Amino acid sequence: MRITILVFAKLGDLVGAPRLVREVAAGSTIEDVWRALAGEFPAAAPYRAALSAAVNAGYTKFSTPVAEGDEVAFLPPVSGG
Amino acid sequence: MPIPLLSVTSDALDVEAVVRRAEAEAGAGQHGAVAVFIGNVRGENLGRRVVELEYEAYEPLAINAFGIIAAEAGEAWPGVRIAMRHRVGRLAIGEASIVIAAAAAHRAEAFRACRYVIERVKQIAPIWKREIFDGGEAWVEGATADPSDAAARIAAYERACG
């Protein structure tokens, strides 16, 4: 199934684009999506411990399964305000 | 036209508009106090001369985060109404990056709620700043955003009441 992946700030720089479209296997979780992304962009891999995740613009856990058409976002440590 | 109660914009921030929006939400005659926080771009950070800041947001999640934070403030200080607006894009030194207005019946809860909201924005809002300074640039990284982290929420509350 096809999903959209959003990455922000330093993570966006490491990946080289703010938005990617990828095919993932049915039953994949957000953790699986991250593993595939980190495999594709090894420089991003060390970020895992500091990341938060969102699906369809709602905060979520890495154990959440993804569905066709989902927008999955990986959020580095925030610095707003 | 009034601005949204909770918003992200690339336009320069209008403090009065945010104050008026919080007051409208509280209702005429209901807000004996409005506390306002304005976050500005500083010209110096970690001993470096800052040239400008660039803010990026995941806007729909940022609006959700603002909603979570405003609801938490309403739980802690019943009756308080929050309006806030965060700017994105490139900001010059001295420009405002965020305006928060907390309208309440009395000053104590208005001040506390306003402080609580900025602390929580810094903890969980999906917004990032890139500092362009003399000799380079770097993304600033603060807290790992986790709205369900009870310890962070308590820390924000304690700062608000300290």
Residue B141 lies in a domain: yes
DSSP-assigned letters across all residues of B2-49: PPPSEEEESSPP-HHHHHHHHHHHH-TTT-SEEEEEEEE--SEETTEE
Whether residue B118 is contained in a domain is answered as: yes
Query: Does B97 touch chain A if contact means CB atoms closer than 8 Å?
Result: yes
| Three-state DSSP class for residue A74 | strand
Which DSSP string do the residues of A49-67 spell out, in sequence order? Answer: GG-EEEETTEEE-TT-B--
B127 within domain boundaries: yes
Q: Model confidence at B46, in pLDDT bands (50, 70, 90)?
A: confident
CATH number for the domain that contains residue B41: 3.90.1170.40
Whether chain B has a CB inside 8 Å of the CB on A52: the answer is yes
Q: Is the pLDDT at A66 greater than 90, yes or no? A: yes
Residue B2 has pLDDT above 90, yes or no: no
A38 phi and psi angles, rounded to 5 deg: -65, -30
How much is the pLDDT for B130? Answer: 97
Number of domains in chain B: 1
Domain limits at B58?
6-161
In a domain, B1, yes or no: no
Rounded Cα distance, A63 and B127, in Å: 23
| Residue whose tokens read 């807000």 | B31
Question: What is the average pLDDT across A2-25?
Answer: 97
- Residues A34-57: tens digit of each pLDDT: 999 999 999 999 999 999 999 999
Q: Is it the case that residue A80 has pLDDT exceeding 90?
A: yes
pLDDT in tens, A7-17: 999 999 999 99
pLDDT at A81 over 90: yes
Beta-bridge partner residues of B53: B91, B131
CATH of A2-75, picked from 3.30.379.10, 3.10.20.30, 1.10.10.60, 3.40.718.10, is 3.10.20.30
pLDDT of B109-125, one tens digit each?
999 999 999 999 999 99
Does B89 reach chain A within 8 Å, measured CB to CB?
Answer: no
CB contact under 8 A, B144 and A50: yes
Q: Are A66 and A29 in contact (CB under 8 A)?
A: yes
Do the strands B96-104 and B33-40 form a parallel or antiparallel pair, or are they unpaired?
antiparallel
pLDDT value, residue B146: 96
pLDDT digits (tens, 9 = 90+) for B60-99: 999 999 999 999 999 999 999 999 999 999 999 999 999 9
The 10 Å Cβ neighbour count of residue A1 is 14
Q: Where are the domains of chain A?
A: 2-75
Q: Is the dihedral of CA A20, A26, A30, A34 positive or negative?
A: negative
Q: Is residue B88 part of a domain?
A: yes
Rounded to a whole number of angstroms, the distance from the CA of A48 to the nearest CA of chain B is 11
pLDDT at A4 (0 to 100) = 98
Adjacent-strand bridge partners of A64: none
Q: What's the mean pLDDT in B13-22?
A: 98
* Subunit contact B141:A77, Cβ cutoff 8 A: yes
Kind and range of the H or E run holding A3 = strand A2-7
What percentage of chain B has pLDDT greater than the value 70?
100
Binary contact (B126, A58; C-beta < 8 A): no
Q: Nearest by CB to A8, which of B58, B60, B144?
A: B58
The verdict on residue B51 lying in a domain is yes
Over chain B, what is the mean pLDDT? 96
CB-based burial label for B13 (10 Å; 0-12, 13-18, 19+): buried
Instruction: Read off the pLDDT of residues B119-144 as tens digits, 9 standing for 90 and up.
Output: 999 999 999 999 999 999 999 999 99
C-alpha dist (Å) from residue B54 to A41, A79, B133, B145, B155: 24, 11, 11, 19, 28
